[in-house]
Structure 1
Amino acid sequence: MCRAVRGPGEERDGLLLQCKGAAAAAAAWWVAAWLLPSTVTAFATFTALLALQSTVYRSLWDSAQYLGAMALGTAGAAAFGSTAGVHVWSVGVLAFIALIGARFQLLGRQGAQVPVVALFAFAGGGGDIDYIGHLVAAAAIGVCCGLAAHLAVAPSPHTDTAQEMTADLTARAENLLRALARTAEQETGEESSPEYWARRSQELATRAARVRAAVDREQENTRLNPRRPWSSAEESLHRCHETISMTERLGTHIRSIARALTHAPRTPETARVLTSYAKLLHATADALQCLRPPQGPEDPDALRGHIEDAMRRYHDATAAVREDRPDTPGEWPVYGTALNEAVRILEEIEHTADRTRDGSPEPCRSE
């Protein structure tokens, strides 16, 4: 409650949604009680709450699906009520048919309402046509009250929150790169364990999924919203998606590098190679930091310089590997994997820079 009062965000939106739900339910009950029999008044209140979802788009879509489900359910109830009448066998047959209708994909999650409405109208109202008409009217009143409350005070998009979450996600990826660089320089305790890096990579992937879901909600919130943001805000959410996708791919590359480093031999002969590789990872992390996702680089020339510096580090590390000529079985694939994955991370950074701003540095090459 305190966070909802303190400032805008998900907490305030949730509290506002509850307030709108209470107002819509009360208004639906009042209108239904004024126009319809008391036997269907509660149905209007229930439908008003169902029509209120987290976004205007979701509310409209769910309401349309619910009205479609209700149309199927009441049509079946009316058909059986006017022909077979209410019997044990007719209730069973109607339920079976309604359950088949519930699987109609266009109705989505509201398909489950088909048998509920059908049995409520048939068994509860005896299949009477007048009762079914009142039931449909109550549902229409509830939907109108719910949507009116939502449109009157539509939830505002929170693009700043989405940007902050995305920026935090890429900062975590940058920290992982620097931690890998420290591991390459000096093998230490837990960080030398493959399980440790598998866990850190999975944490990054889990966090990325959570941030993507939040950005998806914000994008949905811009659809059909009377408080629709400017196009720049929509572009910002698009850049967030690009950055999240990049971070997910970086997580795969980081895990591959960690696996290679934990299998790399630690000998005096390989110390120079690992030191050179650590400098490459630090330079790559600097390039990621300069990218400033999801906004994109403020200084494209600085990003270009960081990428060029990282490529110089790559060539230094490659030269160190060739000069030391590792002859331990399986040692060449280990270093080759680590070097290739580092270059792929640089390419991901460059690709994302292309997508988040006009113009881009020259493509990096590993040759």
Structure 2
Amino acid sequence: MCRAMRRPGEERDGLLLQCKGAAAAAAAWWASAWLLPSTVTAFATFTALLALQSTVYRSLWDSAQYLGAMALGTAGAAAFGSTAGVHVWSVGVLAFIALIGARFQLLGRQGAQVPVVALFAFAGGGGDVDYIGHLVAAAAIGVCCGLAAHFAVAPSPHTDTAEQMTTDLAARAQSLLRALARMAERETAEEKSQEDWARRIEQLAARAAQVRAAVDREQENSRLNPRRPWCRAEESLHRCHEAIDMIERLGTHIRSVARALTHARRVPETETVLTSYANLLHGAADALECLHPPQGPEDADRLRGHIEDAMHRYREVTATVRQDRLDTPGEWPVYGAALTEAVRILEEIEHTGDRAPGQCRSG
């Protein structure tokens, strides 16, 4: 509660949704009590709460699915009520048919409401057509009250929050690159086992999944939201998705680099090569910092310079490996993998920079 009152965010949106739910339920009860029999008043209140989801788009979609489920359920109840009547066998047959209708994919998770509505209208209302009509009207009132509350005070867009989370995720990837560089430089403070690096990279992947889920929620929140034009939010959130994709791929390359460096550090003769390779990783980290995902590079020429400088360091490391005769069949799989993954990291950064608004292109 305190966090919701202090600053905007999911906590405040959740509290606002609860307040809107209470208001919509009260309005639905009042309207249904005024217009319809008391036997269906509770149904209007329930439907108002069901129509209120976390986003306007989700509320509209769930409401449409629910009304479709209700149409199937009430149609079955009316058909059996006007022909077979309410009996043990007819309740069983209706339930069986309604459960089949619940499997329609278009109804989504609201498909479960088909047998609920059918049995409620059939057994609870005796299959009476007038009762079923009142039930449908109550549901319509509830949906209208729920959607009206949502559109009156739409959820706040948090596109800036999604961008900040993506920026922080990129900073984590950059930190891992610099930590690997310090490891290659043989700084004892950065000595870690292969299991430690695997754990850190898994943490990066888990955080990427969390950020992706947050961006997906914001994409849904932006659709049909009267508080933010979708066309403007779409571009920003699309860049967030591209940045997350890139960082997840970088995590795969970083894992391979960490595995290769863990092996290479055991060989004393590789100190010169690892020092040069550390400079290559620092150059990749500089390029990632300059890329500044998801907004894109502020200075396209500067990003291009970082990538070209890193590629120059890559050629230096390759020459050093050959000069020190570390490209033998026993050693090259280690250094070849490390060099290949470093180039792929640079290619990922360059490719993302090419697609950024600034369209940085390397010559």
TM over 0.5: yes
Partner in structure 1 of residue 220 of structure 2:
220
Query: In the superposition, relative to structure 1, how do residues 190 and 98 fare at CA in structure 2: closer, same or farther (>3 Å)?
Result: farther
For residues 316 and 278 of structure 1, the distance between their equivalents in structure 2, rounded to whole angstroms, comes to 12
Q: CA deviation at 1:327?
A: 6.7
**Count of residues in Structure 1 that have an aligned counterpart in Structure 2:** 363
CA distance in 2, matches of 1:231, 1:74: 39
* 1:61 corresponds to: 61
CA apart distance, 1:287: 0.5
Give the 3 Å change call, closer, same or farther, for CA 290–153 of structure 1 in structure 2. same
Match of 1:272 in 2: 272
Whole-angstrom distance in 2 between the partners of 1:102 and 1:274: 62
Deviation of 1:188 (Å): 4.6
Question: Which position in structure 1 is the counterpart of 2:155?
Answer: 155
- Compute the displacement of 1:196 (Å): 1.4
**Match of residue 361 from structure 2:** 361
Amino acid aligned to 1:317: V
Identical pairs, percent: 84
Residue-by-residue CA offset, 1:257-282 (whole Å, 9 max, x unaligned): 11111222533321111111111101
Partner of 2:335: 335
C-alpha separation in 2, matches of 1:313 and 1:226: 51
Distance 2:355 2:157 in 1: 23
Paired with 1:38 and 1:231, the residues of 2 have a C-alpha distance of 45
- Deviations 1:85-126 (Å, cap 9, x if unpaired)? 111111111111111111100001101111111111111111
1:213 deviates by 1.0
Residue aligning to 2:166? 166
- Give the structure 1 partner of residue 7 of structure 2: 7
Aligned counterparts of 1:68 and 1:115: Cα–Cα separation in 2: 12
**2:248 corresponds to 1:238:** no
Shift of 1:164: 0.6
Paired with 1:187 and 1:360, the residues of 2 have a C-alpha distance of 34
Alpha-carbon deviation of 1:187? 6.8
Match of 2:120 in 1: 120
Structure 1 counterpart of 2:129, one-letter code: I
1:192-220 Cα deviation digits (max 9, x unpaired): 32221221111111111111111111111
TM-score by length of 2: 0.96
The structural deviation recorded for 1:20 is 0.5
Hey, what does 1:70 align to over in structure 2? 70
Per the TM alignment, residue 340 of structure 1 is displaced from its structure 2 partner at its CA by 0.6
Q: 1:315-326 counterparts in 2 under 5 A? A: 315-326=315-326
- Alignment of structure 1 residues 287-326 onto 2, 5 Å: 287-326=287-326
TM-score norm. by structure 1 comes to 0.95
Structure 2 residue identity aligned to 1:177: L
Are 1:209 and 2:209 matched, yes or no?
yes
Does residue 1:94 correspond to 2:94, yes or no? yes
* Helix, strand or coil at the partner of 1:78: helix
Spell out, residue by residue over 1:233-256, the C-alpha distance to the aligned partner (whole angstroms, 9 max, x if none).
332111111111111111111111
Measure, in 1, the Cα distance between the counterparts of 2:190 and 2:352. 32
1:183 corresponds to: 183
- Supply the distance in 1 between the matched residues of 2:230 and 2:114 (Cα, whole angstroms): 39
Say if 1:17 and 1:54, in contact at 8 Å, map to a contact too: yes
Q: Distance in 2 between matches of 1:338 and 1:295?
A: 29
Per-residue deviation, 1:328: 6.7
State the alpha-carbon separation in 1 of the partners of residues 104 and 222 from structure 2.
Answer: 28
1:283-321, Cα deviation, whole Å (9 max, x unpaired): 100100011111111111111111111111111111111
Contact 1:222/1:229 (8 A) holds in 2: yes
Partner amino acid, structure 2, of 1:238: H
Taking the aligned partners of 1:154 and 1:295, their CA distance within structure 2 comes to: 26
- Mind listing any 5+ residue stretches in structure 2 that lack a counterpart? none
Whole-angstrom distance in 1 between the partners of 2:82 and 2:176: 69
Partner Cα separation in structure 2 for residue 231 and residue 327 of structure 1: 52
Question: 2:132 corresponds to which letter in structure 1?
Answer: I
Q: CA separation of 1:188/1:88 partners in 2, compared to 1, >3 Å: closer, same or farther?
A: farther
Q: Are the counterparts in 2 of residues 190 and 196 from structure 1 also a CA contact under 8 Å?
A: no
Mind listing any 5+ residue stretches in structure 1 that lack a counterpart? none
- Measured in 2, the distance between the counterparts of 1:190 and 1:196 equals 11
| One-letter amino acid of the structure 1 residue matched with residue 103 of structure 2 | R
